[in-house]
Structure 1
Amino acid sequence: MINILTVTLPIFLLIGVGYVAAYFKIVGAADIASIGRFVLNITMPALIIVAFQSHPIGQILNWTYLMAYGIGAVATFGLTTLCGVYLLKKDLSTSAIYGMGTSVSNSAYIGYPVVSAIIGPIGAICMALNFLVENIIIIPMALILADAGSGKGQRVSVLIRQILYKLTKNPIIIGIVIGLAISLSGMTLPAPVNKALSLLAGVSSPTALFVIGGSLLGLRLKGMRGDIALVFIFKLVVHPLMALLSVMVLFPGIEREFAIGAVLFASVPMMSVYPIFAEAYQLGQRAAAAVFVATMLSFFTIPIAVMVVHFLLPLGG
């Protein structure tokens, strides 16, 4: 039996350390932002490269996982967008941004520490595959629909080109490409290089959790109404349910570790930069409130998700 608190409590303690450090001004907002860039631009790519070179290319390019996680994310996005339009009577632009919030997880900062504690190094592979789903499918789809809904449909082709150009400069995507190349070639990195990358990879999780805690200090619950509830409820409940249905019904043959990874990554709060995307459509405050509430509630919902996967998808099964 997995001791749920042993897995989750250290994660939230580290988030608490970041919050306390920011509260007592040991670190400022600029420091938190710089540390966040360090995580995303340096330690996470290093983590992916280290993980990829340790696994055969067939295990890394796990198309079953990509489809299982991708279908769960797209289904959540679609359900959220439809509920926004037809239930909350929001315009397509607002509903699409809500859909983004419910279907793109904080895979790097919260998801990876949780998942790697349960399934080990395969968690880094799942995380990298999630980045492909999120950056190539979900985020572009949400932005295209949001632009179309705001009357800027003529800019869709320009938007697609901008997204593709940014992907080529994304350090995470670059790390994935390098890792895939190393795995495909069968080469082994020189010992000093491998050691340096491993040291960077080792600080990725705790540093990421510290950043989340520090980032929570400035968030407020202004504008907390039914539409915000839609976002964090769909993120913490519907998204993991869609992932669970996907791995158990559509892809029952998926390897157990990857099935667990899909469900647990879906169960964590939305990406921390979600309010930045939402701000372009005058939804920044509501998105920030959703991030705040989802992150706080995840202290309770993530342990539940861990218990569910332990019961339905036991590693020994």
Structure 2
Amino acid sequence: MTEIAGLVLPFFGLIFLGYLTARLVDHPGEAMGWLNTFIVYLALPALFFKLVSRTPVEELTRAEFILTSVGATYVVFALIFSVGLFLRRNTVAEATIQGFAAAYGNIGYMGPGLALLALGEAAAVPVALIFCFENAAHFTVAPAMMATTGGRKERPAVLVLGIVRRIALHPFILSTLAGVVAAFLAVQPPVPVQRLIDYLAQAAAPCALFAMGVTLALRPIKRIPVEIGYIVPMKLILHPIMMYVALSLGGGYDPVWVQTAVLLASLPTATNVFVIAHQYHVWQERASATILITTLLSVATVTGLLFLIRSGALPADLFP
């Protein structure tokens, strides 16, 4: 357990330091802009490129892994969406944000750092694949669902073009594709460029976690939504369980790939859920509360999952 604490405490400690700093130091929220720009456009893309470019190209084309992992996530989305729409009698827009709150984990800011720290560089490729294809799905589903509601009314051609542009030009996806090309051609950047990439990659996790803590502090809980009662256990407990069962049913995956997918599924709600809610002016305060509560509770749930992984209590295949 000491080893697990050594992994988790520095990781969540960075989030706490960001939160504490934001509470003690009086800076406007806009002051986070350049740090977020550095993380999104430079540090994390450098990390994805570095790790993917060094991976054998045959490992980058596991379509069955991609379909299974993204499929499990969208089963979670569909369940919570249905609860919100049919049982809670929410609007389609509200149910959509609730579905994302349960299915859209913090796989961008928290995922790479924690997976690589806990599972090593072998986790790099499944992290990159899950991130790219899940976000491509999220970038597609969110505007498509909102287009059916009272949200932004856009012509179908404009909507489709916006979705394609957002996916194709996302820095994480572009850097991963560049890494795939480098892996396919078996080329590496010149030494000075590689050193620059290394410096940027090393800054990715600490900067992203600190920024996440600041973001949470700037969005205090004003009220706890009733939906928290089923969204939180779905996100932190049932989502990783469903991911584990789905990959076990598929079978034949490297243990690190299974552990990585389950670990990413266990992460708290992504801050992007608030961004989507804010963009469409729906369920904003409650999305913010969900992010903060799942992040706080994930200290315990993620620690427990890492203990199961590191102790060998979580076999790679539930149905050998």
**Alpha-carbon shift at residue 129 of structure 1 (Å):** 1.1
Q: CA deviation at 1:52?
A: 1.3
Letter in 1 for 2:262: V
Distance 2:221 2:112 in 1: 27
Work out whether residues 236 and 294 of structure 1, in 8 Å CA contact, stay in contact via their aligned partners in 2. Answer: yes
Contact 1:18–1:211 at 8 Å: present in 2 too? yes
- Tell me by how many angstroms 1:163 deviates: 1.1
2-structure distance, mates of 1:246, 1:36:
34
Q: Are residues 150 and 227 of structure 1, via their aligned partners in 2, closer, same or farther at CA, if it must alter by over 3 Å? A: farther
Equivalences for residues 140-179 of structure 1 within 5 A: 140-150=140-150, 155-179=155-179
Structure 2 CA distance, aligned partners of 1:22 and 1:307?
Answer: 31
Tell whether the 8 Å contact from 1:232 to 1:291 is kept in structure 2 after alignment.
no
Q: SS of 1:19's equivalent?
A: helix
Unaligned runs of 5+ in 1: none
Q: Structure 1 residues 296, 60: CA separation in 2 closer, same or farther (over 3 Å shift)?
A: same
Deviation at 1:151, TM superposition (A): 7.2
**Shift of the alpha carbon at 1:182?**
0.5
TM-aligned CA distance change 1:292 to 1:156, over 3 Å: farther
| Aligned pairs for 1:105-254 within 5 A | 105-150=105-150, 155-249=155-249, 251-254=250-253
Shift of 1:68: 2.5
Residue 314 (structure 1) shift? 6.4
Q: How many residues align?
A: 315
* Structure 2 counterparts to residues 25-36 of structure 1, below 5 A: 25=25, 28-36=28-36
- Give, in angstroms, the shift of residue 230 of structure 1: 3.3
Judge which range, 67-76 or 156-165, deviates more.
156-165
**How far apart, CA to CA, are the structure 1 residues paired with 2:210 and 2:185?**
36
- Within 5 Å, give how 1:48-87 maps onto structure 2: 48-87=48-87
Find the aligned partners of 1:142 and 1:230 in 2 and give their Cα distance: 21
**1:112 Cα deviation (Å)?**
1.8
Distance 2:105 2:154 in 1: 29
> Corresponding residue for 1:255?
254
Q: Which SS does the other structure have where 1:108 is aligned?
A: coil
Distance 1:285 1:14 in 2: 24
- Equivalent residue runs for 1:99-110 within 5 Å: 99-110=99-110
CA distance in 2 between counterparts of 1:109 and 1:26 reads 24
How big is the alpha-carbon RMSD for the aligned residues of Structure 1 and Structure 2?
2.2
Contact 2:240 2:266 in 1 (8 A): yes
Using the size of structure 1 for normalisation, the TM-score is 0.92
- Alpha carbons of 1:156 and 1:285: their partners in 2 closer, same or farther (altered >3 Å)? farther
Distance 1:158 1:2, change over 3 A: farther
Q: Using the alignment, how far apart are the partners of 2:155 and 2:75 within structure 1?
A: 26
CA distance in 1, matches of 2:101, 2:83: 14
Give, in whole Å, the separation in 1 of the partners of 2:221 and 2:26. 24
Shift of 1:109: 1.4
Tell me the TM-score normalised to structure 2 length. Answer: 0.91
How far apart are residue 228 of structure 1 and its match?
3.5
Give the deviation of 1:264 after TM superposition. Answer: 0.3
Letter of the aligned partner of 1:31 in structure 2?
A: A
2:94 & 2:239 partners in 1: Cα distance? Answer: 19
The Cα offsets for residues 250-280 of structure 1, whole Å up to 9 and x where unpaired, read as: x221111100000000100122121110121
- In the alignment, the residues of structure 2 paired with residue 104 and residue 122 of structure 1 have an alpha-carbon distance, to the nearest angstrom, of 23
Deviations 1:26-85 (A, max 9, x none): 765233332122111101110011101211111123323212311211111111111111
